[in-house]
Amino acid sequence: MVGRRKVKPTALSTWVSGVKAFRAKFNYGDSDWVGTVALKQKIKTHVGQPPSVGLSLALFNEIVTWKLAGQEDRTRHLRTKLTDDLVRKITACAFSLAHSDRDYLTRAHLYVLQGISGVSTGVASAILALTFPDQYCVIDPRIWKAIYGQNQEQFGLSDYRHCLADVL
């Protein structure tokens, strides 16, 4: 991939080993895990598979709360004027997109979802990962640090593509 950052192979291999060890000991009764599974099912039930409708404002807000985990106040002012109709139409548009080129489709999905005020690459990635769990992942500073051993706070399309290539 052109423009991909060089990451020490040891960081990625260490991450893969850590994931394998984590999976072997994972507690599927953990409340965060149970809540995430329930949210994914709620989204699947609401939008269908493949998605045929967009998210309701209430379901969108649940995703924002899940993703930002106590930090949602920092973008709340950006979301005060959101309407159910706007969120439904923008997410329905994003979910209806199709393209044979995965990178092109990822770009389109992210940018359409970022048309919703207050939606960053991180929140857009959460919407995609919860709606299309086999095709997308969530990106945020904790995940980046765990995978690459590097601190990073802001993410763009190239970062997300890089992460997707390594995770999926």
Nearest to 46 by CA among 38, 56, 37, 36: 56
pLDDT band at residue 3 using 50, 70 and 90 as cut-offs: low
Query: Tell me, what's the pLDDT at 123?
Result: 96
pLDDT per residue as tens digits for the range 20-39: 887 788 888 988 899 999 99
Sign of CA dihedral 146, 108, 110, 150: positive
Query: Tell me, what's the pLDDT at 1?
Result: 46
For the residues 66-92, what does the mean pLDDT come to?
Answer: 90
pLDDT per residue as tens digits for the range 137-168: 999 999 899 888 899 999 999 999 999 998 88
User: What are 48's two structure tokens?
Assistant: 């269908």
pLDDT per residue as tens digits for the range 95-143: 999 999 999 999 999 999 999 999 999 999 999 999 999 999 999 999 8
Query: Tell me, what's the pLDDT at 84?
Result: 96
In the DSSP assignment, the letter for residue 4 is P
Query: Tell me, what's the pLDDT at 63?
Result: 96
Taking CA atoms, 111 is separated from 22, 35, 96, in Å, by 33, 27, 14
- Greater confidence (99 vs 70) lies with 99
In angstroms, the CA 113 to CA 167 distance is 21
Backbone angles phi, psi at 137, to 5 degrees: -130, 170
- Greater confidence (11 vs 79) lies with 79
Average pLDDT, the chain: 89
Query: Tell me, what's the pLDDT at 26?
Result: 82
pLDDT band at residue 8 using 50, 70 and 90 as cut-offs: low
Q: Identify the burial level of 157 via C-beta atoms within 10 angstroms of its C-beta, where 0-12 means exposed, 13-18 middle and 19 or more buried.
A: middle
